[in-house]
Amino acid sequence: MPRMNTPLTLRDILDWLHEDNPERLKTLWAWADETRRQNVGDTIHLRGLVEISSRCSRQCAYCGLRAGNQSLTRYRMSPDEILVSARQAVAYGYGTVVLQAGEDFGLSCEWVAEVVRQIKFQTPLAVTLSLGERTEAELDAWRNAGADRYLLRFETSDPGLFEQIHPSRNQHAAGRLPLLRHLKQLGYEVGSGIMVGLPGQTYESIARDIDLFRELDLDMIGIGPFIPHPQTPLGTGELKPVVAPGLQAPNTELMVYKAVALTRLVRPDANIPSTTALATINKRNGRELGLQRGANVLMPNLTPVKYRRLYEIYPGKACIEETGTACNGCLRSRINAIGRHIARGPGGRKRRAMEVEVLC
Ligand code: SAM
Ligand code: SF4
């Protein structure tokens, strides 16, 4: 296995993804934790998540919000409701609010721009948007309105698998990678990420995903397990991408920790959340283990409770009943229990000195 100061090759990443020896894995956890400590410190950034609309025009084969799921009651929050949640984020001391939704074209360009302007005018928060694949003109307008960051997971770097599980809106759709590059050009801090253990996703494909995180120079990287939803083609088995025996990567907690730890090693200064999906498959201490194996961000849920259960991306989602206050208290005590501290301020990516010089 490579030593701590040697950059990981694609082969090393693949070997670690196959590693199941608990003693050797302890080395990986310690290496990722130390890299996290040296590069982003012991503080944890809290980003308040507001799920502003469950309406979606897409047919992603993995997601419970897909347009084809007719058993879901849809909602769209009003601008006033969103501002109430944003003020709650300020009251709890969070530095960022994340506005997330399905690809809902009822969230028009001007509607979103005005919400962003109001949040920036009324609060000191950084604003992160996660509204799916939108036009370059919309992304530009929202940046001009004050949005600081954009999250758009590429989900898997395997183009054949992505096309199967995420049907394009039209034949000429360019996909998510060109949009990520465009977001960078617009001056957003850019986040992306993957699901781990998608049917048809191999170990090698995850190794390539992690290598791509390095190449894309992402500021934020979210990694969670794929959790089957019974009202989706991947959940029912109606769509079953297959790979040769022994190649399928599992959607286990352990696999997610390995991907998080390796991601920290290839992107030492990125902001990496310990995701809600991870907390869903290990409600007892998945979040904490994620934080101890490379992650440095948590995303407490600020969606009003009456909407929360309607934003059912996957079943059994953690924190579906808790109020914002309960979530805030719970996360703070979990952070204290592992000896870490809560960061103040918006908590953007702090590039290492050498990189800043090169970029300026
Ligand atoms: N619509 C936007 C988009 O697709 O980027 C943002 C909302 S979408 C629900 C946010 C993320 O949820 C997706 O990027 C995907 O990784 C994750 N997700 C969706 N279905 C999931 C599932 N069944 N298991 C785990 N994560 C899932
Ligand atoms: Fe819609 Fe995003 Fe879910 Fe796809 S992943 S169905 S775009 S909410």
Q: For each of the domains in the chain, give its residue range(s) and CATH number, in order of start.
A: 10-359 (3.20.20.70)
What is the chain's mean pLDDT, rounded? Answer: 93
Tens of pLDDT, residue by residue over 3-48, are 566 789 999 999 999 999 999 999 999 999 999 999 999 999 999 9
pLDDT range class, residue 324, cuts 50, 70, 90:
confident
From the CA of 173, how far away is ligand 2's center (Å)?
16
Closest CA to 107 of 57, 166, 168: 57
Of the two residues 20 and 319, the one the predictor is more confident about is 20
Among 70, 76, 103, residue to substitute to test ligand 2 (most atoms within 8 Å of Cβ): 103
CA distances from 47 to 78, 88, 188, 217, 298 (A): 20, 12, 16, 21, 6
Mean pLDDT throughout 350-359?
A: 40
Cα–Cα distance, 37 to 91 (Å, whole number): 28
User: What is the total residue count of the chain?
Assistant: 360
The ligand 1 atom at the shortest distance from the C-alpha of residue 56 is 1
How far apart are the two ends of the chain, measured CA to CA in Å? 36
For 174, half-sphere exposure in the C-beta direction (CA atoms, 13 angstrom radius) is: 10
Tens of pLDDT, residue by residue over 60-107, are 999 999 999 999 999 999 999 999 999 999 999 999 999 999 999 999
Three-state DSSP string of 290-311: HHHCCCCEECCECCCHHHHCCC
Cα–Cα distance, 102 to 134 (Å, whole number): 11
Cα–Cα distance, 147 to 124 (Å, whole number): 12
Cα–Cα distance, 64 to 102 (Å, whole number): 10
Q: Is 277 in the pocket of ligand 1 (CB under 6 A)?
A: yes
Which alpha helices (H) appear in 246-345, and where do they start and end?
253-266, 276-281, 286-292, 305-308, 324-337
Closest CA to 165 of 257, 58, 93, 80: 58
Closest CA to 332 of 343, 321, 346: 343
DSSP state of 58: -
Structure tokens at 219: 């500021």
* Residue with CA nearest ligand 2 atom 8: 102
Q: Which pLDDT score, from 0 to 100, does residue 358 have?
A: 27
pLDDT range class, residue 360, cuts 50, 70, 90:
very low
Tens of pLDDT, residue by residue over 206-221, are 999 999 999 998 999 9
Residue 119 predicted with pLDDT over 80: yes
Conformational region of residue 166, where left means phi above 0, alpha means psi within -120 to 50, and beta covers everything else: beta
- pTM of the model as a whole: 0.95
pLDDT range class, residue 173, cuts 50, 70, 90:
low
Cα–Cα distance, 333 to 56 (Å, whole number): 35
* Residue with CA nearest ligand 2 atom 6: 66
Radius of gyration of the chain (CA): 19
From the CA of 163, how far away is ligand 2's center (Å)?
14
